[in-house]
Structure 1
Amino acid sequence: MSPPKPLEGYTSYKGIPPLAGLCSMADALKPGLSVEECVRWLKRFHYTFVRLHQILTARITAEPIYELKTAFSHHAYLCAEHAAALRTRVAEMREPPLGLDEVPHPALEAFFDEILNAPSTGELLTGLRLAFQMLDDTITVYQLHTHPLTDAPSKRLLRFANMEVDDMIAFYDSAIAAVDAKMTPDWYLTLIALLRESGGLDGTQESQSSGPLPRGYSKKPFQYDPIPQRDERFTDHWNQGVNAEAFLYSEQYPAKAKALMMLFKRIREIDVPEMMASVVAQTPGKQWGYYRDMARQIWDEARHAMMGEVGFVALGVDWTQARVTWNWSYRLNTECTPAERHAVLFFIEQGLMPKTGKRYEYEVAHESGIPLMATIQDFDWADEVLHSQIGRQWLVPEYGGLAAAMKYGDQCWSKILSNWTTVRDQGLTKHDNWWPAVYAQACAAAGEEPDPLVMGYAETYEAKRADVHRGGLVGE
């Protein structure tokens, strides 16, 4: 039986774009993928975003290059959001149980294991670049094959995914060129062989199995590295010679100088992604909403560090003259369990909510007369309110209430005693006072004479517990 002949000459009313502008009538007359086929593709996309989120998060802490540390934080968040959107879409398509935690193919699992285990920054970048390109190409193919009207919700989600994957590819192209990264031929062949054996990222190609999976770097299981690393611009990693909070909360110093000190507090927040990434990497088996929310907070904290970087540049100050230390993330990652680290972070965040916390910082920024500082602190404050709610959602129920969670966080924090004397005696730092040089540079850029009182600030963190509302050392 021959197919029916489409109605000739059909047009929309007065030439208004038909079908809500999704596609032409001619395109809509063509059949597309079935629901079952769509779900299979979408599950592969979901698995890819989940694994990329895992890889990026797991490599934040030990990645020394600051720009990559912040980019990994951003890209992990984007992947977490796209995975969440795909989970929702699959659930809409007659698919209970969802099976979203199942591995689509052992070879595809091995492909991502290889990238996770890349032994160097350069190879990690090239592996990520290949994975994102494969994902981008496969999403494009899906968009061409699925029906533009019947599967419009999927096409919308993947349109945004395509845009952000393209942005990430462009970033990795630039980063690879900057560090002159190269993928070894043997590893490239291993990755391609794994993709072929898995039937391609979409699973539509014929699987080319040839015995045992050709693993290279992933022959040994991945071991998460909790030790923070920094590039050569970061020096004197254990320095605790300038108590930023004591300066900020003192009534004797002017708001403009306090704004400069707050920029140090912002860029110092790079230690929060280093710590939080360890919590996520070492806490398996949670609901995806937990990983999405934690990814958002990790990205926010990386943004805060970059806000500090931008602020220093705006004020004509070389931020590398400050001592942006890793004392906080290093000690939490090596002396506390993942649950204890998260509890400490929650305890600190709740302390930022009263009027003496983030509201006070915003008011100081506004009073400083530096418009950019007001913008930075306005959004920093908003983000921290969100973070306090994330902690209440995921942490408080585990301890039976807010008071119990706060008590536990306080107890965990008390485990990290001041190491000011220890690191000095071990020769790790002299706790040099870097503040006068940074302040003088800011004054010179503004064409102002330094205030002798501000220039003479010399209070340290000696014998201080690292607690924000007791004048201590913390990235927040």
Structure 2
Amino acid sequence: MIDPAYQSYRNLPPVAGIASFAEAARPGFSIDECVARLKRHHWAWRRLHGIFIGRLTAEPVYELKMGFSLHAHYCAEHAAAWRHRVGEMREPPLGLDVVPHPALEAFFDEILAAPDTGALLLGLYEQALPALRAALARHIEETNRLVDHPSFRLCRFALIEVDEMLAYGARAVPAMLDAAGRAALQPWVDLLQALLAQAGGLDGSQPEAPGELHRQFAGGPVAPDRFVPRRDERFPDPYNMGVHAEVFLYDEALPVHAKPLMLYYKRLREIDVPEMMASIIGETTGKPWDYTVDMTRQLWDEARHAMMGEIGFLQAGIDWRQLVRINFTWSLALNTQLPPLERHAVLYFIEQGLMPRTGKRFEWEVGQAAGDAFATLIQDYDWADEVLHARIGRDWYVKAIGDAKQAVEYGDACWSRVLIDWRSYRERGLTQHENWWPALYAAWCRRHGRTPDPAVMAYATSYESARADLQGISASG
């Protein structure tokens, strides 16, 4: 027992300000106890990441795709931090790929297999994440903050983003699940809670409840279309390829004042990159966790780019839902025609085309030349992100192929095999490839009191002619 009369020098904060003398003297977890809990936390981060990635592509609601992209990024980074911490605690081999408890595995399997969006959100944001939050808070409360300060700090920082995810879920669940739907799912919620109890809680801190392990939705075959992109009703014409942004941007004869609208379109169209990258991450095995961290960071960046385009339209006074047709033909083609490595090869090949002066720097210069501050801002960051993505490609794709030359050639060959058959989309009645650009430009002119430029209004370039003009420039982003 510490003498209450003992004081620090001039009553300065004791123990570096992280605890009182009494708190620092309190018993806490042994190394073995601490590691056991950290491994459970890590398993939760890892499984949550896999669920966000595994359900992103086929989730039709745009806002949820974006939210899942961010939350997958958070989970990947926190899982990496936990792996590093366990590795500091006399733990080689780490055993982080070992299922910590069968009931905990079944708990996350059930959420991954949730039959619809409402159930998925309920499982993620009202069951899994609250259980993880309680486990992190319990670790902070029960560990010795001095001797286990690195773990304490990880948990404290993680709670910031867990609380952010929970706040998102508090709005998302009632938006997508009504009272009747919630009532119908109550037996499944009871099952999830029973599985957690059987596991001794998410962190294993409670006595394990006896009982037979049951499953409701999990255990069947993996959905064959889980990486086939879907869109909500605000994307009524997802096969539409009637407007080719790159031709317009590179045409020096066309006035620059309208080009930021095409930049916003190009950015918003990048919804398809997270849809495609999720399939690479979800179907690639045998990579170190750092691969998952880097690829998920890039996936989140691409989601950010899409939202930059959305905000670009909104701040320009344009309702993109009424005037712009955002397609998914790129992610659909790659996800259904190529295996994961070849998808990554195409992604890298396209990114290399964005690095020269005619790529991302050019788009930034367009924003500047148009005097559009927001377009300039987003292209500045988009350019920086693409430099990072090129590094990620070198680290994880080029090294797997051999060298940069081979990597580009292989990506070119893979891309040349992808069939985005815009003619057949029309012939099959999937789209008429409406040229929606004149209506968009005219609306922008009305909003800003400008007289529409006849050359801009007349713009119409088919993908057939554009392919000949712009070899190597992506039809996506």
TM-score, scaled to structure 2: 0.96
The within-5 A match list for 1:61-140 is: 61-129=57-125, 130-140=127-137
Distance 1:7 1:428 in 2: 80
Question: What corresponds to 1:188 in structure 2?
Answer: 189
Question: What corresponds to 2:428 in structure 1?
Answer: 426
Question: What corresponds to 1:442 in structure 2?
Answer: 444
The answer (yes or no) to whether the contact 2:351–2:386 under 8 Å persists in 1 is: yes
Deviations 1:246-300 (A, max 9, x none): 0001101222211110100000000000011011111122110111111101100
The answer (yes or no) to whether the contact 1:116–1:222 under 8 Å persists in 2 is: no
Q: Are 1:40 and 2:33 counterparts?
A: no
Deviations 1:180-217 (A, max 9, x none): 35441210111111111111101122222323x11000
Deviations 1:285-326 (A, max 9, x none): 211011111110110000000000000000011112111000
Question: What corresponds to 2:402 in structure 1?
Answer: 400
Distance 1:468 1:191 in 2: 52
Distance 2:336 2:352 in 1: 24
- Structure 1 counterpart of 2:65, one-letter code: K
The answer (yes or no) to whether the contact 1:246–1:471 under 8 Å persists in 2 is: no
Question: What corresponds to 1:50 in structure 2?
Answer: 46
Q: Could you say if the C-alpha distance between residues 430 and 190 of structure 1 is closer, same or farther in structure 2, counting changes exceeding 3 Å? A: same
Distance 1:34 1:467 in 2: 66
- Structure 1 counterpart of 2:358, one-letter code: T
The alpha-carbon deviation at position 7 of structure 1 amounts to: 3.4
Aligned with 1:347: secondary structure?
helix
The answer (yes or no) to whether the contact 1:240–1:462 under 8 Å persists in 2 is: no
Q: Could you say if the C-alpha distance between residues 193 and 466 of structure 1 is closer, same or farther in structure 2, counting changes exceeding 3 Å? A: farther
- Structure 2 counterpart of 1:68, one-letter code: L
Runs of 5+ consecutive residues of structure 1 not aligned to the other structure: none
The alpha-carbon deviation at position 465 of structure 1 amounts to: 4.3
Deviations 1:399-433 (A, max 9, x none): 11111111110000001234121111111111110
Question: What corresponds to 1:243 in structure 2?
Answer: 244
Aligned with 1:462: secondary structure?
helix
Distance 2:166 2:111 in 1: 15
- Structure 2 counterpart of 1:172, one-letter code: G
Distance 2:461 2:392 in 1: 34
The within-5 A match list for 1:24-423 is: 24-129=20-125, 130-181=127-178, 182-183=181-182, 184-211=185-212, 213-223=213-223, 225-320=226-321, 321-423=323-425
The answer (yes or no) to whether the contact 2:101–2:199 under 8 Å persists in 1 is: yes
The answer (yes or no) to whether the contact 2:2–2:21 under 8 Å persists in 1 is: no
The answer (yes or no) to whether the contact 1:418–1:463 under 8 Å persists in 2 is: no
Deviations 1:22-60 (A, max 9, x none): 111121121111111111111100000000000000111
Q: CA RMSD in A?
A: 1.5
The alpha-carbon deviation at position 175 of structure 1 amounts to: 0.6
- Structure 2 counterpart of 1:399, one-letter code: I
Q: Could you say if the C-alpha distance between residues 383 and 366 of structure 1 is closer, same or farther in structure 2, counting changes exceeding 3 Å? A: same
Distance 1:465 1:336 in 2: 20
The alpha-carbon deviation at position 331 of structure 1 amounts to: 0.6
Aligned with 1:153: secondary structure?
helix
Question: What corresponds to 1:16 in structure 2?
Answer: 12
- Structure 1 counterpart of 2:259, one-letter code: K
- Structure 2 counterpart of 1:170, one-letter code: A
Distance 1:11 1:369 in 2: 63
The answer (yes or no) to whether the contact 2:54–2:278 under 8 Å persists in 1 is: yes
Distance 1:43 1:405 in 2: 37
- Structure 1 counterpart of 2:215, one-letter code: R
- Structure 1 counterpart of 2:388, one-letter code: L
Deviations 1:374-415 (A, max 9, x none): 111111111111001101000111111111111110000001
Q: How many residues are treated as equivalent by the alignment?
A: 470
- Structure 1 counterpart of 2:458, one-letter code: G
Q: What's the % identity of the aligned pairs? A: 54
Distance 2:465 2:292 in 1: 36
Distance 1:334 1:209 in 2: 44
The answer (yes or no) to whether the contact 1:461–1:472 under 8 Å persists in 2 is: no
Distance 2:278 2:469 in 1: 21
The answer (yes or no) to whether the contact 1:243–1:460 under 8 Å persists in 2 is: yes
- Structure 2 counterpart of 1:415, one-letter code: R
The answer (yes or no) to whether the contact 2:268–2:306 under 8 Å persists in 1 is: yes
The answer (yes or no) to whether the contact 2:280–2:341 under 8 Å persists in 1 is: yes
Q: In terms of mean alpha carbon deviation, does 421-430 or 389-398 score higher?
A: 421-430
- Structure 1 counterpart of 2:170, one-letter code: D
Aligned with 2:364: secondary structure?
helix
The answer (yes or no) to whether the contact 1:263–1:308 under 8 Å persists in 2 is: yes
The answer (yes or no) to whether the contact 1:466–1:473 under 8 Å persists in 2 is: no
The answer (yes or no) to whether the contact 1:64–1:229 under 8 Å persists in 2 is: yes
- Structure 2 counterpart of 1:257, one-letter code: A
Distance 1:256 1:22 in 2: 56
Q: Could you say if the C-alpha distance between residues 470 and 220 of structure 1 is closer, same or farther in structure 2, counting changes exceeding 3 Å? A: closer
The answer (yes or no) to whether the contact 1:340–1:412 under 8 Å persists in 2 is: yes
- Structure 2 counterpart of 1:247, one-letter code: F
The answer (yes or no) to whether the contact 1:111–1:194 under 8 Å persists in 2 is: yes
The alpha-carbon deviation at position 227 of structure 1 amounts to: 1.1
